[in-house]
Amino acid sequence: MLILRSKAPLRISFAGGGTDVSPYPEEKGGAVLNCTIDKFAYATLQAKEALESTTTVHSLDYNVRHDYEKQEDLVYNGELDLVKAALRLLKPGDRSGGQRALELFLHSDAPPGTGLGSSSTMCVALVGLFQQFLREPWTPYEVAELAYRIEREELGMKGGRQDQYAAAFGGFNFMEFHGAQTIVTPLRIGHEVQDELAYRLLLCYTGTSHYSNDIIAQQQSNYTEGRRSTVDALDATKRLAIDMKNELLRGNIDEMGRLLDEAWQLKKQFTDGISNDRIDAFYTRARAAGALGGKLVGSGGGGFILLFCDFHRRANVAKAAHDAGGRVVDFSLEPGGVRTWPVRTAA
């Protein structure tokens, strides 16, 4: 029996999120600064000779198991649609040669709705897994674009491109989006700068999840209608991503707090629903305790918030976040992108 495993890292976005969402990048070009962390989406594939080419999918996060015997069974109904779309487009069972039964096991360190890009990351983990299984020579760009196609085109899920590219490449990246063309520039940031930045960042779960489709759809509508506040905020967000990248490369850590706060104030102007009374109160409390800045790391409405703290006030901010109903999650920066490997089994 062949066993393959893959893992892809989740990401935190510092600036530029929203400018990777169509039609903004096609018309003006987007720019995003992000990095990956040591939280992952995992996928395992077991393949064995069988009389029937059945594919079985286990979602360990949702405690769901389904069998699919043929392509016609892969109907989108809101349950395991991401996996079904990957199976429909990449056809690993049909292309593997011979009669094989496939079994998939999926789980993630962060469920959907947290703002860490977990759905896209799981999609990249699946594409990486099937790449290894089918022995395809795909580049990280091609892996990311396949994941984008599965989510955005096949399933019609709203969103941009940064999550797929972050999971495929890993590390600190400055990403530029010009229509269908994406340029990923890995950033050479000294270890001492990375260590200091990681120490002064707090990743806090706000206690509420978010549904990004509605928020992103409204942002797209506001932009296409020419709503001035949305257009101006997106333009300023792109410039801010460039400024933050430059400050980070220079090692100006102290500027990160101010720029994260500026990014958050701009993000709230994209559309209604990005923040709410609970999130505003949470952020105000963290600021009062000593956070110099911060922002929700997803499209908005809830999930994880990233806070930047002064060295002496970090513990105070963590306590304030806890008292406000949040949960601080330990993390480290992750330099690598999606990885796959075979699992050795006893003969």
Enzyme catalytic residues: 163
CA distance 317 to 289: 5
- Residue pair 14/119 in contact by the 8 Å Cβ criterion: no
- Rounded Cα–Cα distance for residues 38 and 332 (Å): 6
**Amino acid identity, residue 49?**
E
CA dist 62 and 206 (Å) reads 21
Strand 55-59 with 30-49, pairing: unpaired
SS3 label, residue 335: coil
Dihedral sign, CA of 59, 74, 9, 331? negative
Helices (H), the chain: 24-27, 81-90, 92-95, 118-134, 140-148, 162-169, 191-200, 212-224, 228-250, 254-267, 277-289, 314-323
CA of residue 103 relative to chain centroid, distance = 25
C-alpha separations of 274 from 120, 173, 245, 332 in Å: 20, 25, 24, 27
CB atoms within 10 A of CB 336: 13
Residues 267-289, buried b or exposed e (16+ Cβ, 10 A)?
Answer: bbbbbebbbeeebeebbebbbeb
Distance between CA atoms of residues 64 and 59, nearest Å: 5
